[in-house]
Amino acid sequence: MARLLLIEDDLTIRTPLVRALRERGHAVAAAATAMTGLRDALDDRPDLVVLDLGLPDLDGRELLRMLRAVSTVPVIVATARDDEREIVRVLDAGADDYVVKPFTAAQLDARVRAVLRRGPGGPTGEDPTVVVGGLRIDPRSRQVSLDGEPVELTPREFDLLRHLATRVGEVVTKRELLTEVWQIPYGGADKTVDVHLSWLRRKLGESAQQPRYLHTVRGVGVRLVSPEVGG
Ligand code: CA
């Protein structure tokens, strides 16, 4: 049995699929829009997400990108067309597998089991922990340590640090952080990012004036670097 989240707006697909997957022993939750799906994926931590690409509020590929920035949950994408370029794109964007509509519950169930058999970290079982200098960020346990000492972060601070850790050494704009970490694509206030960055800095024992890991690039954004590399 797995805990599945099905993100699908089409009721004529969603209802029978939820029923069929439950009959196969899975615990299934469903979301009809991208934003509720994203929220449920982060709040409920399902074992696997089945994601429809054609959603009313946001393109499914965009949702996949946002989800991948903050979560390693396995994702199977349901595409309407057997379009090789599209399939390559979603696999490159971090999908674990795909099904082409129309598909049967039996086929989806087999793919769910195959993806889950690979276990966390993909087929090689590689460790997703990111190490930057003395900083260790483990996205699976959502734990952070600095020079061997645990650092207690709020979920938002963790997500912020984790996103910066996917782009070590690069300047990440506040706009991108608002989109990827806060899921506020437009009109968010940079101040939100500044406030959380200052809290994160304090917990890492540094300040904007004397940065070690988190370097502000004025007017552009922020980048995470190892103190040995310097900024
Ligand atoms: Ca759809």
Please tell me the distance between residue 148's alpha carbon and the centre of ligand 1 in angstroms.
46
Q: Please tell me whether residues 107 and 134 are part of one structural domain.
A: no
The CATH number that applies at residue 53 is: 3.40.50.2300
Which residues, listed in sequence order, are joined to residue 172 by a DSSP beta bridge? 222
Please tell me the distance between residue 203's alpha carbon and the centre of ligand 1 in angstroms.
42
- How many domains is the chain partitioned into structurally? 2
Please tell me the distance between residue 51's alpha carbon and the centre of ligand 1 in angstroms.
9
Q: How far is CA 147 from CA 26, 53, 96, in A?
A: 41, 42, 33
Q: Please tell me whether residues 156 and 218 are part of one structural domain.
A: yes
Q: Please tell me whether residues 41 and 109 are part of one structural domain.
A: yes
The CATH number that applies at residue 219 is: 1.10.10.10
Domain termination site, one of 95, 118, 141: 118
Q: Please tell me whether residues 52 and 94 are part of one structural domain.
A: yes
Please tell me the distance between residue 217's alpha carbon and the centre of ligand 1 in angstroms.
40
Q: Could you tell me where the DSSP H helices lie in the chain?
A: 11-23, 34-44, 60-70, 84-92, 105-118, 155-165, 174-180, 190-203
Q: Which amino acid is at 49?
A: V
Please tell me the distance between residue 99's alpha carbon and the centre of ligand 1 in angstroms.
13
pLDDT of residue 20: 94
Domain termination site, one of 97, 118, 139: 118
Please tell me the distance between residue 82's alpha carbon and the centre of ligand 1 in angstroms.
15
∠ Cα 69 73 75 (to 5°): 95
pLDDT of residue 181: 86
Task: State which residues form the domain around 47.
Answer: 3-118
Q: Please tell me whether residues 53 and 145 are part of one structural domain.
A: no
Please tell me the distance between residue 220's alpha carbon and the centre of ligand 1 in angstroms.
36
pTM: 0.54
Could you tell me if residue 125 is inside a domain?
no
**Residue 116 half-sphere exposure toward CB, CA atoms < 13 A:** 16
Q: Please tell me whether residues 194 and 89 are part of one structural domain.
A: no
pLDDT of residue 126: 55
95 close to 75: Cβ distance less than 8 angstroms: yes
Q: Please tell me whether residues 142 and 169 are part of one structural domain.
A: yes
Q: How far is CA 135 from CA 3, 7, 161, 227, in A?
A: 32, 35, 10, 10
Please tell me the distance between residue 25's alpha carbon and the centre of ligand 1 in angstroms.
25
3-class secondary-structure state, position 138 = strand
pLDDT of residue 39: 94
Q: In what order do the strands lie in the sheet with 27-31?
A: 27-31, 3-7, 48-52, 75-79, 97-100
3-class secondary-structure state, position 192 = helix
Whole-angstrom distance, CA of residue 136 vs CA of residue 220: 26
Q: Please tell me whether residues 84 and 153 are part of one structural domain.
A: no
Please tell me the distance between residue 132's alpha carbon and the centre of ligand 1 in angstroms.
40
Q: Please tell me whether residues 64 and 36 are part of one structural domain.
A: yes
For the chain of 231 residues, list the mean pLDDT of each consecutive stretch of 10.
93 94 94 96 93 93 90 91 83 90 92 83 59 90 92 92 91 88 73 91 94 91 85 47
Q: Please tell me whether residues 12 and 81 are part of one structural domain.
A: yes
Please tell me the distance between residue 135's alpha carbon and the centre of ligand 1 in angstroms.
41
Sign of the four-CA dihedral 13, 16, 22, 25: negative
Could you tell me if residue 202 is inside a domain?
yes
pLDDT of residue 125: 46
Please tell me the distance between residue 91's alpha carbon and the centre of ligand 1 in angstroms.
19
Please tell me the distance between residue 76's alpha carbon and the centre of ligand 1 in angstroms.
14
Please tell me the distance between residue 23's alpha carbon and the centre of ligand 1 in angstroms.
23
pLDDT of residue 56: 94
Please tell me the distance between residue 57's alpha carbon and the centre of ligand 1 in angstroms.
10
Could you tell me if residue 43 is inside a domain?
yes
Which residues, listed in sequence order, are joined to residue 30 by a DSSP beta bridge? 6
209: nearest Cα among 196, 218, 163, 154: 218
Please tell me the distance between residue 103's alpha carbon and the centre of ligand 1 in angstroms.
14
Length of the chain, in residues: 231
